[in-house]
Amino acid sequence: MPATDEDGEVDLGVSLEVVVTVVDLANAVQSPEEGTMGDGDEDEELDDESEADDLDDEDVTLDVLTEFIDELNEDQQAALIALAWIGRGDYDAESWDEALKLAYERNAAGTAAQYLVDMQGLGDLLAEGVAAFGLSVEDVER
């Protein structure tokens, strides 16, 4: 279980605001049909220019998400990975220390951003991971 600060709040090693930013960016690029990141099937024919603009926006948002995660420090990146694992059900809140340790090992190559954006339903996984600690991404003002 992660440590708590003097106010009794859970210290995940990453601020809830950072998690919410990643959740929002991930949800913005989530493909609704397939549940994967990216701009969908490149062979699809576009009906009009607005659809082409939407795909460009998704590419930019995916780049923004990847860059945002890349700019986080190693502790924050490992915490995001561990939260996603908890949200996916690989670990529970009581196994936080083990999940975090393995997340550091997983991120030793420095590929947290690519690993996370490749996770299906990243935004939901992070939200579920945070919820396992009695916190909510909905409580953070946007």
Buried b (16+ CB within 10 A) or exposed e, 38-67: bbeeeeeeeeeeeeeeeeeebeebbeebbe
pLDDT tens digit string along 73-118?
A: 999 999 999 999 999 999 999 999 999 999 999 999 889 999 999 9
Residue 7 belongs to a domain = no
The predicted structure's pLDDT at residue 110 = 82
Q: Give the pLDDT band of residue 58 (cuts 50, 70, 90).
A: low
The predicted structure's pLDDT at residue 29 = 86
The predicted structure's pLDDT at residue 39 = 47
Residue 142 belongs to a domain = no
pLDDT tens digit string along 21-57?
A: 999 999 998 755 544 455 444 444 444 444 444 445 5
Residue 130 belongs to a domain = yes
Residue 4 belongs to a domain = no
